[in-house]
Amino acid sequence: MPTPRTTGPAPRADTGPAVARSPRADVRETHTAVLFFLGDRVYKLKKPVGLGFVDFTTPAARRRGCEREVALNRRFAPDVYLGIAEVRCPGAFPGAFAGGPADGDAGGSGEPEPLVVMRRMPAERRLADMVRRGADVEDPLRAVARLLAARHADAPRGPDVAREGTRDALAGRWEASFAEVRDLADEIAPPDGLAETERLVRRYLRGREVLFQTRIRQGRVVDGHGDLLAEDVFCLDDGPRVLDCLEFDDRLRHVDGLDDAAFLAMDLERLGAPDAAAFFLARYSEYSGDPAPPSLWHHYVAYRAFVRAKVSLIQATQGAPDAAQRAQRLVTAALHHLRASAVRLVLVGGLPGRGKSTLSGALADRLGVTLLSSDRLRKELAGVPVEQPSAAPYGEGLYTPEWTRATYAALLDRAAALLSSGESVVLDASWTDPEQREAARRVAERTSADLVALHCRTSGDVAAFRLANRPRGTSDAGPEVAAVMEAREPPWTEAVSVDTGGPLQAAVDRALAAVRPYGTGRAPAFRRPYMEPD
C-alpha cells in the first residue's frame, strides 16, 4: 500500500510510520469501506459503490464522505479521528475492491484517493468484548451515558432536526420497516409476532401525540450519533471513545436523544446484558435530566431491535448463516418491549374497608406508575387539608352527587393528561357508579390506553374491623356509609375480582397478573432515577 499523505480541508493527520515499511496490514471490509489496521493507525477507504442509501461512485463523493465522517465523529472521539490522507495507486485502485472502477471513477488514472485516518483502539477495551467476557461495565457505561448526554446537550437543533422527532415521522419509519419485512415474504418466512408488533406500535403512537410534541418543545430531538453499537464503544482509562457515527444520511441521525441511547441499550440486551441496558438508560436519563416515561424507553428499544431484525432478515435472503434466527430473536425482544410499553389505565375500586387504597399504593409502587386518589383529590378541590376529617352522612357534605361528579371528572382529566404523555396511571376510587366506569372507558379509548378494572373484595367481618380501627383522615367513610353503599352497589362484571382479606402480596400478585397478562417477559424493568426538582 502506498504511503498516505494528508490533504484537503480536514485537519492534517499525523499518519505515523510510513505504511510501506510495515510488512503486513490487517484488512477488513464492510459493504461500504475497506479498513487497513497498521501499527497504531487505521486507514479507512470508501468503496466506489452506489447502494441507494449511499453514493460513493465518484472520488469527489468519497472525499465528501471522508470529511463528513471525520467532522461528525470528532464530537464523540476527537482524538481518534485524526484527519484525511491520500493514496495514489495507478491501475487497480480502488476498483479492485468493487469489481472494477465505477462510472465516473478515476480508476486507473492515478487520481488521489482519500482515506480517513484514525488512531487504533485497543481491542480488549471494546465494550462488546467486555460484556461478552462478563466484565463489570457499570463504570464504563456511566461514562458513556455522561458523554452521550453531554454531546446531546450541545448538539445542533432546529426545525429540520425537530421534524424527524415528531410522532408521524417515527410512525413513518416504523411503517417503512414493516413494508420492507413484508416485501421479503416471497424469499423468507416472516418472523413470528409480526402482526402483534404492528398492532402494538400503532396503538402506542396513536395516543401519544402530546408526548412527542412535548419532547420537541423540550429540545429533546438532536443531531445525535445514530448507530450506537457496543462494538464501536471503547472504554479507555481516560474515558470512552464512541466511533462510527452514522454520517451518510442526516435524517437518520436526527433523533430523540433517548432514541439514540436506546440503540446501545438494545445492543446490550442482544449481548445478554439486560441489567446493563437498564442501568445505562437510567444513567443517561439522570445525566440528561430527561423525565421521559419508561413506556417511551421501551418503545425506542423496541424500534431499534426491529430495525436490526429487518437487517438480519435481509442478510438471511442473501444466505447469511443464522441470520433468520437472529431476526426472530430480535423481533421477540421488540415484542416484549412493546408489551411493556403499553400505557394502562388501572381502576382499583370497591366498597369502604375493602383494601382498595392499600392495594392501589402497593400496585403503583410495583409498577412504578402514578397513583391518583379520589379521597385526596376531593379534599384538594374543596380546599380542605388531606388529613382533616370531613365525615358526613351518605350523600351530604363533600359527598353530594355534585361533589362526587366533579371529583371523578377531575380525576379522569388528570389521568387523561398523564396517559397522553405516556404515563400509566392507577386510580384509587370506589367506582360504584356505572356512569363513572363508562367515563373511564372513554378516556382509555381516547388515549389508546389499556383499561384494567380491579374490584377489591373481602369478608364483611374483615371490612367492619378495618373501618372500626382505621384512623380518620384521608378517607371519611364509616360503617354507616359503607352499609348504604353496599346496598346500592351494582354489579361490576368486567372487573377482575381481587381478594384483599389475606396477605397484601397475594393481592398484589393477583392484580399484577391482570395488569400484565404476559408477565414481564425478557424486557428489563425500566425505572427513572429519582431526580431532585430544580
Q: Secondary structure of 270-325 in the HEC alphabet?
A: HCCCHHHHHHHHHHHHHHHCCCCCHHHHHHHHHHHHHHHHHHHHHHHHCCCCCHHH
Q: Which three cell numbers stand for residue 341?
A: 410499553
Q: How far from the centroid of its chain's Cα atoms is residue 312's Cα? A: 20
Q: Which three cell numbers stand for residue 181?
A: 419485512
Q: Which three cell numbers stand for residue 325?
A: 434466527
Collapse the DSSP code of 163 into the 3-class scheme (helix H, G, I; strand E, B; otherwise coil) and give the result.
Answer: helix
| Whole-angstrom distance, CA of residue 74 vs CA of residue 78 | 4
Give residue 524's pLDDT: 64
Ranges of the chain with pLDDT below 70:
1-23, 89-110, 391-392, 395, 397, 472-473, 476, 519-525, 528, 530-534
Computed over every residue of the chain, the mean pLDDT equals: 88
Q: How many helices (H) and strands (E) does the chain have?
A: 19, 15
| Whole-angstrom distance, CA of residue 166 vs CA of residue 177 | 17
Peptide bond into 94 cis (omega under 30): yes
Q: Which three cell numbers stand for residue 242?
A: 464512541
Give residue 479's pLDDT: 77
Residue (of 301, 197, 312, 321) closest to 258 by Cα position: 301
- R_g of the chain, CA atoms, integer Å: 29
- Look-up of cell digits 445478554: 272
Give residue 12's pLDDT: 40
| Whole-angstrom distance, CA of residue 480 vs CA of residue 493 | 25
Vertex 377 angle, CA 373 and 382, to 5°: 155
Give residue 397's pLDDT: 65
Q: Which residues contact 73 (CB under 8 A, 6 or more apart)?
A: 80, 81, 243, 244, 245, 247
Collapse the DSSP code of 33 into the 3-class scheme (helix H, G, I; strand E, B; otherwise coil) and give the result.
Answer: strand
Q: Which residues contact 443 (CB under 8 A, 6 or more apart)?
A: 345, 412, 415, 416, 419, 449
> How many residues comprise the chain?
534
| Whole-angstrom distance, CA of residue 488 vs CA of residue 482 | 10
CA 405 vs CA 11, 91, 265: distances in Å: 69, 84, 45
> With left for phi above 0 and alpha for psi between -120 and 50, is residue 384 left, alpha or beta?
beta
The CA-based dihedral angle spanning residues 253, 256, 257, 260, taken in that order and rounded to the nearest 10 degrees = -50
Residue 384 burial (CB count, 10 A):
13
Amino acid present at 129 = D
**Which neighbouring-strand residues pair with 35?**
28, 44
DSSP per residue over 215-262, as a string? HHHTT-EEE--S---GGGEEEETTEEEE-----S-HHHHEEEHHHHHH
How does 276-304 read in b/e, with b if 16+ C-beta sit within 10 Å? Answer: bbbbbbbbbbbbbebebbbbbbbbbbbbb
Give residue 280's pLDDT: 97
Q: Which three cell numbers stand for residue 19?
A: 505504511
Going 376 to 381 to 386 to 388, the CA torsion angle's sign is negative
Residue (of 27, 44, 29, 33) closest to 119 by Cα position: 44
Beta strands in 58-136 (DSSP E): 81-87, 113-119
| Whole-angstrom distance, CA of residue 170 vs CA of residue 189 | 26
Q: Given the DSSP bridges, would you call strands 425-428 and 5-6 parallel, antiparallel or unpaired?
A: unpaired
Give residue 51's pLDDT: 73
Q: Given the DSSP bridges, would you call strands 233-236 and 239-242 parallel, antiparallel or unpaired?
A: antiparallel
